[in-house]
Amino acid sequence: MSANKSITERIFQAIGFELLAILICTPLLAWIMDKPMLDMGVVTMAIAALALAWNVVFNGLFDRALKHYGIVHNAWVRVVHALLFEGGLVAVGVPLIAWWLKVSLWQAFVLDIGVLLFFLPYTYVYHWTYDVVRERVVMRQAVSGSL
C-alpha cells in the first residue's frame, strides 16, 4: 500500500472492495441463514456502506502510521491490517446485525464471526491484489510517460 494514494483512489479501492463483497456475501448469507435475498441484501449493503466509510478512513490512518514509524509493508503488516480493519467493523456491525435480523447480540456476534472468517482472508487478498495491480499500472504509466 502506498501512502501516496489520493482520496479518489482510496474511494475507488474501497468501492471495489465492497461491491465484490456484496456480490459474494448476499446470496451466500441468504442461503446460510435461510432468509430472503432481499433481507440479506439490505443488511449486507448497510454493513458495506459502514465498511466503505471505515475502509477509506482506516486505510488512510494505517498508511500514515506505517510511514510515520517507517514500517515496511510485508505479510505480517498485512495480517495486522486485516485484523484491525475487521475488528473495527465487528464493534459497530454486531449491534446493526442484531437489530436488523431481530436476534440477540450473541447470535449476531456468532454470525459476524462467521462472516469475519470470510473477510479476513478476503481483506488480505483483495488489498494485496490491488497493491500489486496498482504498482504495475503506476510503473507502466511511468515508463510510457518517460518515452
Sign of CA dihedral 50, 18, 88, 59: negative
Distance CA 83, CA 139 (A): 30
Mean pLDDT of 136-146: 84
Q: Which three cell numbers stand for residue 100?
A: 436488523
| This prediction's pTM | 0.65
pLDDT digits (tens, 9 = 90+) for 61-82: 999 999 999 998 899 999 999 8
Whole-number average pLDDT of the chain: 87
Distance CA 126, CA 119 (A): 10
Question: Where do the domains of the chain lie?
Answer: 7-146
pLDDT of the residue at 146: 64
On the CB side of 117, how many CA atoms lie within 13 Å of its CA? 6
Distance CA 19, CA 25 (A): 10
